[in-house]
């Protein structure tokens, strides 16, 4: 779950590759507070899932801890 979601606008200097002219480009991203992460899916594959007992299982845990669970 994510709470307190809001858009964050910022400006970035961008250089045109052909003319070498630089201009300012506005960009926006969504920010918020992470309240709870219960599962992560990428292309239908579950990479992380929180069990009812509160234990994390999945490939992301193995990568983060360097262990098998």
* DSSP symbols for 19-34: T--EEEEEEEEEEEEE
Q: What three-state secondary structure class fits 46?
A: strand
**Does residue 1 share a domain with residue 30?**
yes
Whether this model's pTM surpasses 0.85: no
The model's pLDDT over 45-54, given as tens digits with 9 standing for 90+, comes to: 888 888 776 5
- DSSP state letter for 65: H
* Domain extent for 48: 37-69
**Does residue 1 share a domain with residue 24?**
yes
**Does residue 26 share a domain with residue 7?**
yes
The first and second tokens of residue 18, run together, are 């052909």
**Does residue 28 share a domain with residue 3?**
yes
pLDDT for 11: 97
**Does residue 29 share a domain with residue 47?**
no
Q: How many domains, the chain?
A: 2
- Neighbour count for residue 48 (Cβ, 10 Å): 19
**Does residue 47 share a domain with residue 26?**
no
């Amino acid at each position: 779950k994510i709470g307190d979601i809001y858009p964050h606008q910022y400006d970035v200097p961008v250089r045109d590759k052909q003319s070498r002219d630089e201009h300012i480009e506005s960009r926006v991203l969504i920010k918020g507070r992470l309240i709870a992460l219960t599962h992560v899916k990428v292309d239908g594959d579950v990479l992380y899932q929180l069990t009812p007992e509160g234990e994390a299982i999945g490939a992301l845990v193995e990568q983060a801890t360097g262990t098998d669970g």
